[in-house]
Amino acid sequence: MRKTVKKIFSVWQFDKEEQWLNEMAAQGWHLISVKYPTYEFEQGEPGAYNIRLELLEYWPKHEESRQYISFVEDTGAEYIGSVLRWVYFRKKTADGAFVLYSDIDSRLKHLKRILSLMWIILFITLYNTVYYGVVFCANLFASNSMITAHLVWFGVFLLLSAVIGRGLLLVIRKKNQLCKERTLHE
């Protein structure tokens, strides 16, 4: 039996997405396909798989990414698919632990890739916030019917900037915690 679930996760919620996918696997719903925000599952033995996801440095079709995906597959994991630069893997629980980040430095590197992506997204939303704010102010005293639309877009991008900024702070906090942890282990 198959099941399709639509669920939205933000970039900074990658750990919650992975946790949810593993909870689904623990209930016997094994991820077989992902096309954000749609996840397709197939029913099977509960707890048979562990799921991991990662943001690659390059697009999945890039040579370095293909080599990395092949390397992970050589460990016994199965490549499920990708969404933009995010890749999804599953590995049978019986084959042992499934760890993509064996040390703090590799986890930090992953968080830095996520932060880079988030800074770009934040820049784009802030740019649009400023743009629509300026356009709104410039047309404030004109009898332009677009004033309401500009105000709405300004509000939308302002809200998006705030939400993305909050997510960015959460990832920065995770990164700082890992840096402290690394310092303790040195």
Element spanning 154, H or E: helix 147-185
The domain locations on the chain are: 2-95, 104-185
Instruction: Let me know: does 85 contact 162? Beta carbons within 8 Å.
Output: no
Please, what is the angle between helix 147-185 and helix 104-138, to 10°? 160
Instruction: Let me know: does 18 contact 1? Beta carbons within 8 Å.
Output: no
Instruction: Write out the chain's pLDDT in tens, 186 residues.
Output: 999 999 999 999 999 999 999 999 999 999 999 999 999 999 999 999 999 999 999 999 999 999 999 999 999 999 999 999 999 999 999 998 899 988 899 999 999 999 999 999 999 999 999 998 888 887 777 666 677 888 889 999 999 999 999 999 999 999 999 999 988 877
pTM (two decimals):
0.87
CA–CA separation, 141 and 122 (whole Å): 30
Residues 6+ apart with CB under 8 A from 79: 69, 72, 73, 87, 88, 89
Instruction: Let me know: does 100 contact 52? Beta carbons within 8 Å.
Output: yes
Q: Note the pLDDT of residue 102.
A: 84
CA–CA separation, 155 and 152 (whole Å): 5
